Amino acid sequence: MWIKKYAPKSLKEFANQKEGVEKFLKWYNNWKKNKKPCLIYGPPGVGKTCFVYAFANDKNLEVIELNASDFRDADTLRRILGSAVSQGTLSGKEKIFLIDEIDGISGKEDRGGLAELLKILPNSKNPVVFTANDAWDPKLRAIREICELIEFKKIGVRDMEKVLKQILFKEGIEYEEGVIKQIALRNEGDLRGAINDLEIIARGKKKITIKDLEHIGYREREQKIFDTIKIIFKTKTIRGARFAIMSSDKDPEEILWWVENNIFNEYEKPEEIAKAFEVLAKADIFRRRIALRQNWRLLVYMIDLISSVAVCKKNVYRKFTKYQYPDRLKILSLTKLERELEKEKLEKLAKKLHCSTRKIKTEYLPYLKLI
Amino acid sequence: MIEVWAEKYRPKTLDEVINQEHVVARVKAFVKEKNIPHMLFAGPAGTGKTTLALVIARELYGKYWKQNVLELNASDERGIDVIRHKVKDFARTKAIGDVPFKIIILDEADALTAEAQQALRRTMENYTEISRFILCCNYSSKIIEPIQSRCAVFRFKALTDEHAKEFIKRIVEGENLDITEDGIEAILYIAEGDLRKVANLLQACAITGEKITKELVFSVAAQAKPEDVKEMLENALKGNFIKAREKLKEMLFKQGLAGEDIVKEIHRQIFNLNIPEETKVKLIDATGETEFRITEGGDAQIQIEALLAKIMLLGKGR
C-alpha cells in the first residue's frame, strides 16, 4: 500500500508541519535537562506517528510503541514500560517511547493506566512521546499538564498536492489537470486519506482523469449534513424532507439535534417556530421510546416527525441561512469537564468531612456556598 | 436439511452482484491485482455489503477462502477486548496460499463502541501487509474519522424495484416457481429493495406449494393489503366510521393480521392520501402513538378505532 511505501523514512522527506517539527527538535534537545514528555496532537492523517518514526530513523533510535490496540492497564504498562523506562542504554541503541493514540485509552479496560503512566514517567531515562487527536479531552488533563504540547495542523491543499504529485511521478502515472486538487480538497487536510484515495483510483493505471473520482465515496465530514438540513428547511413536503434524512449518512438522532439548533435561524415567525418545536418535541418522545425498549419499529415516526418541521413554515424563506453546528454536542463535552472537576471537589470534601459525596452534595454544599 | 434461499442465491461472483456497478468496477480491478485496500462499505440493509465482502474473499482465495477470512458481527461482539484479542490475533498471523494477506470482515461496524474503534486503528495499520479490513455499516458517521481516513469508502445505493425484479427472476427460474405478475408486484412492495427479504418471502411462499399470487404473498408476509387500508382510511376521512370499522374488523379477525402490521400499513398510506401536509403531520403523530400503545400492550382494536375516529375528525374540515 502506498501509504506505507511512501511514508517518509527521514526528516528530509518530511516536508510538512514546519512549526511542529521545529518545536519538537527543540524539545528533544532540551529533554536531557528537563525530562519533560511531549504530546503531539492534531487531526487524523497529518503525520504524527509517521513523524516520530522518521525522526527515530534519522537519530538511530529504537522506537518502543504502545497503541490503543494494546492493553494499557496499570499492570501491562508497568511490565512493559516500568523496567525499560528506567533502563539506560545497555543495548547501545538509544530508545524513544511512543505512546500512540493516548486519547484511545479505555476507561474500563485500561483501568489505572493513566495514573500508572504518571507514576512511571518522572523516572524515565528515555524520552516519551504521546500522540492524540484531541489534546483537550478531559481525561488527558493530568498528562497535558506535564507535557510539552506540540500541535500538528491540517495539511494545506498546496502541500498536499505536492506530495500526491510526487507519488504519481514516482509511479509513472499521468494525471488530468484538476484531479489532484480535487483529491486534496475533499480530504480536508487529511494526507493519509488523500494518499489512500489516490491509490484506489490510480493503482495499475497509466493516467487518471476527473471521471475516476466518481468511484470513490466521500469520507464523512460535516459538509454533507448542511445539505440535508437545507433540504429539510427549504422543501415544502414531508416526503422531500424524509428522503433527505433517509439518504443522509448521519443517524436520525444527530439530525434531530441539527434541526433543533437551526429552527430559529431559518424560521422567523413565532407561530412557525412554535409549531416546528412542537413536532420536534414529539419526535423526541419517539426517540426516547425507541431507546427505552429498543423498539426500532418506531424509528419511522421519529424520522417523519423530524421531517414534519419542513411543513411548519407558511412560505419558503428565500434567503441564505448559515446553519450552525449543534451546541448540544459541544455542551456535552464541556460539561463533562465541569462534572469531573465537581466530582473531584466533592471527593476532597468527603474525605475531610467524613461522609459520602452524596451527603456533601445534598447537605453541605447548599450551605457552604452561602458561607 | 432445508437450504435457505437467501444464502443459496447470495451472489458468489462479482458478475452476479446486483446494482452497485460503481463499487464492483473498482473491486474488480483490486481482485485482478490480488491487492485490496482497507474498505468501508456504507449503505442501507440488504443492498449487498456483506455479500460483496464475501465475494471478494471467494474471488481472491478460491476454495480456501474460509481459512483466510474472519467474519465478525460487531453488534454481537462489540467490545474493546474482541478487537484486542480475536481481531488482533487473527490479523497478525500469516495468510494461507498465494495471496499475501487475509481479510477481516467486520459486519455492522457502526455497532462497535468508540473505544473498540480506537483500538482498531493501529491494528489496521501495523498488520497491513498481512491483513486487510472490510467494514460494513449503515451509517458511516458512526465510524470515527481516524478509521475512515484509513479506508477506501464506498457508498452502496438503495436498490430499486428493477434490481429486486432481477433477483426475483433468478430465484423463480432457479426453483421453477409458478408466480403471477401481481405476486411479483406484492413482493416488491413488501421487500422495499431489501434482497434478503425478497429471498425469505419467496421461500416462505413456495413452501405452501401453491401458485404464488398477491393474496398468498400478503397472507404469508402477514401484512395488510394496501388497498384494504387505503379504503379504510378514506372511509374514515369521509366520516363513514362504521364502514371503516368493518374493514378493520375484517383485517383483524378474518385475515388474522396483527395490529402492528395494520398500523404499519396505515403509516405507509398516509403519504398517498389527498390531504394537506399539515394534516399529515397530525396523522403521523397519531399513528405513531397508536403503534406505541399497541406495543405497550393496548388492545389493537380499541387503539386503531380511536385512531380512525381521530382521522374522521381531521377529515371533517375538508
Q: What is the pLDDT along chain A (371 residues), one digit of tens a residue?
A: 888 888 888 888 888 888 999 999 999 998 888 888 999 999 888 999 999 999 999 988 888 888 777 777 777 777 777 666 666 555 667 888 888 888 877 766 777 777 788 877 777 788 889 999 888 877 788 888 888 999 999 999 899 999 999 999 999 999 888 889 888 888 888 999 899 888 888 877 788 888 777 666 655 554 578 889 999 999 999 999 998 898 787 888 889 999 999 999 999 999 999 999 999 999 999 999 988 877 878 999 999 999 999 999 999 998 888 888 887 766 655 565 566 667 777 777 777 778 777 777 777 777 777 77
The pLDDT score that the predictor gives to residue A331 is 64
CA distance A135 to chain B (A): 15
Instruction: Decide: B191 and B197 in contact? Cβ < 8 Å.
Output: yes
Interacting residues of B133 by C-beta distance below 8 A, sequence separation 6+: B38, B39, B103, B104, B105, B106, B120, B124, B151
Cross-strand pairs, B179: B212
Q: Does B281 touch chain A (CB under 8 A)?
A: yes
Mutation target among B75, B149, B261, B292 for the A interface, most CBs of A within 10 A: B149
**With a CB-CB cutoff of 8 Å, which residues 69-108 of chain B face chain A?**
80-81, 83-84, 88
Question: For residues A18 and A38, what is the distance between their CA atoms, to the nearest angstrom?
Answer: 17
Report the distance separating Cα B168 and Cα A208, nearest Å. Answer: 38
Q: Which of A48-52, B72-76, B265-269, B304-308 has the lowest mean pLDDT?
A: B72-76
**What torsion do the CA atoms of B182, B15, A2, B41 make, to the nearest 10 degrees?**
20
Facing residue for B291 by CB, picked from A101, A236, A297: A297
Which distant-in-sequence residues (6+ apart) come within 8 Å of A105 by Cβ? A68, A72, A113, A114, A139
- Inter-chain residue contact A69 with B119, CB threshold 8 Å: yes
pLDDT at B214: 93
The span from the CA of B58 to the CA of B105, in Å, is: 13
The confidence band for B96, taking pLDDT boundaries of 50, 70 and 90, is confident
Helices within chain A (DSSP H only): 2-5, 18-34, 48-59, 74-77, 83-86, 113-120, 141-146, 157-171, 179-186, 191-202, 223-234, 238-246, 252-260, 263-266, 270-293, 299-307, 327-353, 357-359, 365-370
Please return the burial class of B213, using the count of CB atoms within 10 Å of its CB with bins 0-12, 13-18 and 19+: middle
Residue of A64, A72, A121 whose CA lies nearest to A97: A64
Distance from CA of A219 to the nearest CA of B (A): 6
**pLDDT score, position B123:** 85
Residues in Cβ contact with A163 at an 8 Å cutoff, skipping those fewer than 6 apart = A6, A15, A16, A155, A191, A194, A195
- In whole angstroms, give the CA distance from residue A72 to residue A242: 44
Q: Does A158 touch chain B (CB under 8 A)?
A: no
- Residues with Cβ within 8 Å of B263's Cβ and at least 6 positions away in sequence, in order, are B287, B290, B291, B294, B304, B307
Interface of A with B in 175-204 (CB under 8 A): 190, 192-193, 196-197, 199-200, 203-204
Integer Cα distance of B174 and A51 in angstroms: 57
The pLDDT tens digits of the residues spanning B169-208 come to 999 999 999 999 999 999 999 998 889 999 999 999 998 8
pLDDT (0 to 100) of residue A249: 75
Fold classified for B226-316 = Zinc Finger, Delta Prime; domain 3 (1.20.272)
Q: What is the pLDDT of residues B207-232, one digit of tens each?
A: 888 899 999 999 888 889 999 999 99
* Residue B224 sits at the chain A interface (C-beta within 8 Å): no
Q: CA-to-CA distance for A269 and A74, rounded, in angstroms?
A: 58
| A133/B contact by beta carbon, under 8 A | yes
What pLDDT is attached to residue A89? 56
**Higher pLDDT residue, A284 or B86?**
A284
CA dihedral A51, A57, A62, A68 (to 10 degrees): 30
Architecture of the domain delimited by A157-215? Orthogonal Bundle (1.10)
Would the pTM count as exceeding 0.80? no
Give the homologous superfamily in CATH for domain A2-151. Answer: P-loop containing nucleotide triphosphate hydrolases (3.40.50.300)
The DSSP-derived string for B152-203 is EEEEPPPPPHHHHHHHHHHHHHHHT--B-HHHHHHHHHHHTT-HHHHHHHHH
Question: Cβ distance B281 to A238 under 8 Å?
Answer: yes
Of A133, A203, A295, the CB nearest to B295: A295
How far is residue A99's CA from residue A341's CA, in Å, rounded to a whole number? 26
Q: What average pLDDT does range B132-138 have in this prediction?
A: 92
What is the residue extent of each domain of chain A?
A: 2-151, 157-215, 223-312, 327-370
| B161-220 CATH pick, 3.90.1170.50, 1.10.8.60, 3.40.50.2300, 1.10.645.10 | 1.10.8.60
* A2-151 shares its CATH topology with A157-215: no
CB proximity B35 to A under 8 Å:
yes
Interface confidence, given as ipTM, is 0.71
Write the CB contacts of A66 (distance below 8 Å, at least 6 apart in sequence). A72, A77, A80, A81, A97, A98, A99, A100
Max Cα separation, chain B? 73
Length of chain B: 318
Most confident of B68-82, B103-117, B255-269: B255-269
What is B20-155's CATH number, 3.20.20.70, 1.10.10.10, 3.30.1440.10, 3.40.50.300?
A: 3.40.50.300
Q: Choose among A219, A301, A304: nearest Cβ to B153.
A: A219
User: CA-to-CA distance for A46 and A17, rounded, in angstroms?
Assistant: 8
Asked if residues B42 and B154 have their Cβ atoms less than 8 Å apart, the reply is yes
Provide CB contacts within 8 A for B204, sequence distance 6+: B220, B221
